[in-house]
Structure 1
Amino acid sequence: MADEEVLTGGNVADRVVRIGTTVRKPALAQTAGVEAVLTHLADRGFEGAPRTLGRDQQGRHVLEYIPGTLAATPFSVDELRRLGRLIRRLHDAMESFRPPADAAWHPVVPAVAGVR
């Protein structure tokens, strides 16, 4: 297998690696739901999310690698506008999404008492 570059900074999966133009992460209970979302977005032409590319020989979820860097905060007015347009396109693309009946979800943001 090609060289694996360990990617850091995530908060959901352990041992996420980049191999060439792909990212590999452990398949978890919520992976099928994530694959459904990413497939739906790709089918709608949304280009702000990676493409799901199936599983590798180790059973890991394979995703398209999208190069880039995080914008520094505070964001400029132009960056905020660009982000707003991206979120609008995401909302439009997801409007018709219907999750599979067996989809499992793992909330990344922990619940805070008294906040809905």
Structure 2
Amino acid sequence: MAKTRLEGGNDGGAIRVGATVRRAVNTWTPAVHELLRHLEGKGFAGAPRVLGFDDEGREILTYLEGETMGNRLVWPGWTRTEDTLRQVARWLLAYHAAVSDFVPPRDAAWRGGGRWAPGLIIAHNDASPFNAAWHEGRLAGFFDWDFAGPITVESDVAWTALSWVPLHSRRVAATEGFTDFDARPRRLRLFLDAYGWHGDPGAIIKEVQARMSARADDIRRGAARGDQLYAKLMQRGFAADMDRAVQELNDFADARKD
């Protein structure tokens, strides 16, 4: 059976074998598998299925059919349409419904740390265009659940909006091909409306800022302790870009105004 190394990802190492994906096992893999099995039991179609392990000890997941970002620097057009923005919001709403009653094992270890408690959900935490599969004009779902972990629903809504509105720094967004910055307040409202969020959009902006600041700190700490992924992210300026985005969002137009 043909084997293909899949493009993209900062960790690398994912291999496609037929209709499956093989990936190295990590300390968080058992917890992620519990989550994915729960989603399968709920009939949630927007995530891979767990198929076990191969002879090399790698996890086996189903392959989500569709176009992906791969190694492209400029994002494809489908990532920026309003229809896609609505589809992502509806995927997130359906995911939250499916995961709402998931109680992870007490000893579950998540890559980002933290412990689940009542009132939290286990989120993908990286449901960005980099991990999306786009098939025949529809969002097939998200792969690469390595960063799954416990957060609030509000935080998950905010973190997903960050990637898709987008709410990152102008420098990063422009590099990725988005320059219509005046449209961002309207796009944020569209995303929140499609999700059914009835809270204050300003709270979403504040949550984005809080999470980006925390993420930048995580990258710096991880790089300092020798984590190869975080060292790579640090070298590529991810932490500095997040700091810049936090500052820029202080001047973000009020999302409640036209």
TM-score (normalizing by structure 1): 0.86
Q: CA deviation at 1:3?
A: 2.9
Could you tell me which of 23, 28, 31 is aligned with 1:30? Answer: 28
Could you tell me which of 67, 72, 77 is aligned with 2:76? Answer: 72
Query: Per-residue displacement from partner, 1:9-61 (whole Å, max 9, x unpaired)?
Result: 1234x421000000000111010011001000111111000101111111100
Unaligned stretches of 5+ residues in structure 2: 69-74, 113-146, 148-211, 218-242, 247-258
Could you tell me which of 8, 16, 19 is aligned with 1:18? Answer: 16
Unaligned stretches of 5+ residues in structure 1: none
CA–CA distance in 1 between the matches of 2:42 and 2:10?
Answer: 27
The structure whose RCO (Cα within 8 Å, separation 6+) is larger is 1
Q: CA deviation at 1:72?
A: 2.4
Could you tell me which of 44, 48, 59 is aligned with 1:46? Answer: 44
Identical-residue share of aligned pairs (%): 37
CA–CA distance in 2 between the matches of 1:44 and 1:106?
Answer: 24
Larger radius of gyration: 2
CA–CA distance in 2 between the matches of 1:69 and 1:94?
Answer: 26
- Report the counterpart of residue 254 of structure 2 in structure 1: none
CA–CA distance in 2 between the matches of 1:88 and 1:106?
Answer: 23
Helix, strand or coil: the match of 2:215? coil
Q: CA deviation at 1:86?
A: 0.4
2:36 counterpart letter in structure 1: L
Q: CA deviation at 1:67?
A: 1.4
TM-score (normalizing by structure 2): 0.40
2:83 counterpart letter in structure 1: D
Q: CA deviation at 1:69?
A: 1.3
- Report the counterpart of residue 111 of structure 1 in structure 2: 215
- Residue 86 in structure 1 maps to residue 91 in structure 2: yes
Q: CA deviation at 1:76?
A: 1.1
1:101 counterpart letter in structure 2: R
- Residue 98 in structure 1 maps to residue 103 in structure 2: yes
CA–CA distance in 2 between the matches of 1:59 and 1:100?
Answer: 22
Structure number with the higher helix fraction is 2
1:100 counterpart letter in structure 2: P
CA–CA distance in 1 between the matches of 2:47 and 2:56?
Answer: 23
> What's the RMSD between the two structures over aligned residues?
2.2
CA–CA distance in 2 between the matches of 1:36 and 1:81?
Answer: 28
CA–CA distance in 2 between the matches of 1:101 and 1:27?
Answer: 20
1:81 counterpart letter in structure 2: R
2:97 counterpart letter in structure 1: D
Query: Which stretch shows the higher mean deviation, 84-93 or 95-104?
Result: 95-104
Give the count of matched residue pairs: 113
